[in-house]
Chains A and B, each alone.
Chain A
Amino acid sequence: MERLIANYVEVCAIMLFGVGFMTLLMHNNMIKKIIGLNIMDTAVFLFFIAKGYISGKQAPIVVGKLEEASAYINPVPTSLMLTGIVVAVSTTALALALTLRLHQKYGTIELDEIIRLREA
């Protein structure tokens, strides 16, 4: 229990990941699926950035004079997650575009209804 409270950011991130994962997998509505996808990605970003954070240190942005390396947090996870955000945004964009096309073709964005339509 103590370990869970000490690492509360990571615990939070894993819980969010689970929420996103299940939303992505279980819902038939495309928009809900996309929301789930974004929650899942955000959970990973939170986890990664928490790993790079060192309490009491500054963000690695030089304002005025340059200080020693030990004065800043670890910048690598933050910059990795910038790339991660770009990837998540493009996936979301593609998923939304496909949803739009789906709506044009079938008039609905519920996947189970589409399967029923196709079988009928």
Chain B
Amino acid sequence: MEYIKSFPVFALLIPLMLSFAMPLIKSDRTIKNLALISSASSMALCGLALKYVIEHGAYKYKMGHFEAPLGIEFQVGMFECIMALTFTAVTFLVVMHSSGRIEKEIGSRNIQIYYLLMNIFYASLVGMVFTNDIFNAFVFIEVSTLAACGMVVANSDGRSIVAAIKYLVYSSIGSGLVLMGMAFLYSITGNLNIEFINAEIANAWQEYEKVVLISMALFVFGLGIKAAIFPLHVWMPDAYAYANNTSSALISGIGAKAIIVLLVKVLYSMFGSELVAQSGLLKVFTALGVMGMMMGSVFAIFQSDIKRMLAYSSVAQMGYIFLGLGIGNVLGLAAAMFHVIGHSVTKALLFMSAGRLAEGAGGVSIEKLESVGARRPVSLGLYSVGALSMIGIPILPGFVSKWSLSIASIEAGKGLLLAAIILSSILNCVYYLPVIIKGYFKKSEGAFDGIKFTRREESQIGTLPLVVLAGIVIGVGALSGDIINAFSFEFSKLM
């Protein structure tokens, strides 16, 4: 069974290697199949690795059998495997959904390059989740940013070029800060492996307190820009709103989430929970989280474009995640990480179904979506599943994470945060429900025009990936107890 240990590496290598073959292939059909095969195998390998970890416990994979401080390691534990499985599963479904529609979104000229970028993008995220080497993580961050920029401009719209430039500029600032933080850290620890740095910091941090704190601030600020935490989110709404639907589903679903996973590893595995608790960082996270939850929702209410609305909703959801990090106990962290999973599957579902709705209504403006339920009943139903999860209806993952966050904040003696969570949920209702209500119940003239044609289109394979994704959303909600327990167990070792 020894060979299963190298599966996480192959989950990264297969999409990466296949992506280099793509520009050589002429047939679009073959390229789509190749993208589908690589994401499916990546997902299967992550799943098998998770099964192995559950049975045999966590392990470290040494690249090329070089021992740790010299070679690069992969940390393969329960947390990493669950995250990688979520990201690759979302990717697989997005790729499957895109295969019939990508020509409509970006034209037929750039298909090879588009799938190449997509493969590189999720491969780098898988690498970011597993890696135990901080410089390696930096390279993966950069690769994912460049690939995401390419995906944003794929539809050759003028606005999407400006959006991609904004994204690139902010990301470059973020990665510059992360690299600087790494330089400070390297100068006092002389290591790049997360565990070795942790051991060195535990010995030496009192001597170099300021350097360690500066480096921590640089890491948090740099990764915060990329994760779009509230005041640093300015690049996000444009990038999500003007990209084509497939790109926005993929980037919003998994792009920013992998950065959060890395941030948790940097803070708790590398700096250590003691240092994090002493640095006052948790208060900053709580404050920014609450502000993000409120302001993101308030901005979302005033949007007239459904994709922009979903993008601002992502700002609010990032607020929940940072609130969970800021609570500072094991359950809070586990709930935040569960929210990463829940939001990842839900937001991908929402963006893809919103894309279908906009197609049915002939525009992305929310006003045009009135009575779209007659033309696209299935898509609107799937959108409703996602929206209800965001609002926090029981069984669905949104409810579970809000519930766990509430319990965690009571445990930590920060009862006031409950008010913020409830208020933010109400704000969520204000902007998610009107689309559903108007879509299904509002009567308008001309709503049934062309319905004969759309019926047939609805029954094609097109919505199958979305139905599966909605099933996964419900499944994640149903399995929430196990996932949160697994995360709590993992994090209780770190805190």
Contacts and interface: CB of A to CB of B under 8 A. Distances in A.
A24 interface: yes
Nearest to A37: B172
Nearest to B135: A80
Contacts of A91: 142, 146, 168, 172
Interface residues of A, number: 33
A30 B165 contact: yes
Contacts of B172: 24, 37, 40, 91, 95
B161 interface: yes
Interface in A88-120: 90-91, 94-95, 98-99, 101-102, 105-106, 111, 114, 118
Interface string B129-143: 000000100110010
B179 interface: yes
Given A91-B146, A106-B158, A98 B164 contact: yes
A37 B61 CA distance: 35
Interface string A65-93: 00000000000110010011001001100
Contact of B169 (A33, A76, A101, A118): A33
Contacts of B153: 98, 101
Nearest to A38: B172
B168 A48 contact: no
A96 to B, nearest CB: 11
Contacts of B159: 118
Given A37-B172, A87-B139, A44 B180 contact: yes
21 contacts: A21-B173, A21-B176, A24-B169, A37-B169, A37-B172, A41-B176, A41-B179, A48-B183, A51-B186, A80-B135, A83-B135, A87-B138, A87-B139, A87-B142, A90-B142, A94-B146, A94-B168, A95-B168, A101-B153, A101-B161, A111-B165
Given A24-B172, A40-B172, A51-B183, 11 more contacts: A37-B176, A44-B183, A47-B180, A47-B183, A83-B139, A87-B142, A98-B153, A98-B161, A102-B161, A102-B162, A118-B158
Interface of A: 17, 20-21, 24-25, 30, 33, 37, 40-41, 44, 47-48, 51, 76-77, 80, 83-84, 87, 90-91, 94-95, 98-99, 101-102, 105-106, 111, 114, 118
Interchain residue pairs A-B with the least CB separation, the first 4? A105-B158, A87-B142, A51-B187, A44-B179
